[in-house]
A and B are shown apart, each in its own frame.
Chain A
Amino acid sequence: MNTLKVKIWRGTETGEFQSYEVPRLESQTVLDVVTYVQRRLDPSLAYRFACRVGVCGSCAMSVNGVSRWTCRTHVSKVAQDGSLEIAPLRNLPVIRDLATDMSEFFDKWAKARGQFTGSKTRKDDFAAVNPESKERKRVDAAIECIGCGVCYSSCEVVTWKPDYLGPAALSRAWTLVNDVRDVAQKERLAAVAGDAGCHACHTHLNCTERCPKGISPTAGIAGLKRAILSATLKGEM
């Protein structure tokens, strides 16, 4: 039978790659490979997944050095000479094996004021937002983020500056900056400005290149930079 040579990271921040042989199947995904190892070869392997169809954002890992959503990554697309090297996401603490601690990643969403702040009550009528408006189109371009952490793992600036908010949190902030119903704009711009915020981005575009949902956090970050400079020059910050 055709087999795949798989190396999987075992351990925490320190550890080593262990080798496994997995049967090669048609239409096999990287998540299928990891699941096979855990169910058939080594039940102590720790990894995370939930939906298996690219919705939940739980199963991101580094595959042959590139961060990817493993449930929708076919082995045929990424295997090099019939082998795979699977590691946990970069830039996040490793809990064990392929499971990373995502707390810091999501805490940064909160720090970037990623929460919607409205002013209406349930007694008010629906807000009317024109789907053709410039703001709504900008929201549409970034709203499908599933919070998988691939962009954060791929970002060199996060590696160099661990306090940098990162592409996902800033992209989320950008969707809210363009939400005409939100009333915390000034506070949000202040939260994402400066050396640990959007102005740290070097426009390397790693996040845009790697995002499995085709979002460009870089474009959102550029929008934030412009909005903040404009607000600063107007004396609003």
Chain B
Amino acid sequence: MNTRSQVLLWGAQRISAMLLAVCVIVHLITIIYAVRNGLSASEILGRTRGSVAWGGFYALFVMAVAVHAPIGVRNICAEFGWRGRGVDVLMFVLALTLAMWGLRAVWAVVS
């Protein structure tokens, strides 16, 4: 991978980290609020179904995870001596997998 791409990956990880910081706080507050009267599927779905705002928020959260986590795992791999095209391709697959699973879960509670 060329230096320019390495720099852009670093930038993407920083920006996704900023998004995650906000998303995790909102998510934690939501959890505390959601379980105040016990937790039920109907209550969750009642809040999320048809909600563009919750759908958009969690889609953004998922995309931030899909960008952030594989870049971090790539760095960890590099420090354990595993570098090169093989690990880059694998991390790209990991990013796609996280995005696909996450967005599928968001779609399931919003649609």
Contact = CB atoms under 8 A, between A and B. Distances in A.
B2 to A, nearest CB: 8
Interface stretch (B5-13, B61-69, B103-111): B5-13
A161 B79 contact: yes
Contact of B6 (A157, A160, A194, A233): A194
Nearest to B2: A194
Contacts of B75: 200
Nearest to A232: B7
Contact of B7 (A157, A160, A161, A237): A237
A229 B78 contact: no
B31 to A, nearest CB: 29
Interface residues of A, number: 16
A193 B11 CA distance: 12
A195 B1 CA distance: 10
Interface of B is mostly: helix
Nearest to A199: B10
A221 to B, nearest CB: 12
Interface string A192-203: 011101011000
> Which of the four size classes fits the interface of chain B?
10 to 19
A32 B36 CA distance: 66
B85 interface: no
Given A199-B10, A225-B10, A232 B4 contact: yes
B78 A232 contact: no
B79 A160 contact: yes
Residue of B7, B10, B78, B79 with highest tally of chain A CB at under 10 A = B7
Nearest to A197: B3
A229 B11 contact: yes
A228 interface: yes
Given A160-B79, A195-B78, A190 B10 contact: no
Given A190-B3, A195-B6, A232-B11, 17 more contacts: A157-B79, A161-B78, A193-B6, A193-B7, A194-B6, A194-B7, A195-B1, A195-B83, A197-B3, A199-B10, A225-B10, A228-B7, A229-B7, A229-B11, A233-B11, A237-B3, A237-B4
6 contacts: A193-B6, A195-B78, A199-B7, A199-B10, A229-B14, A232-B8
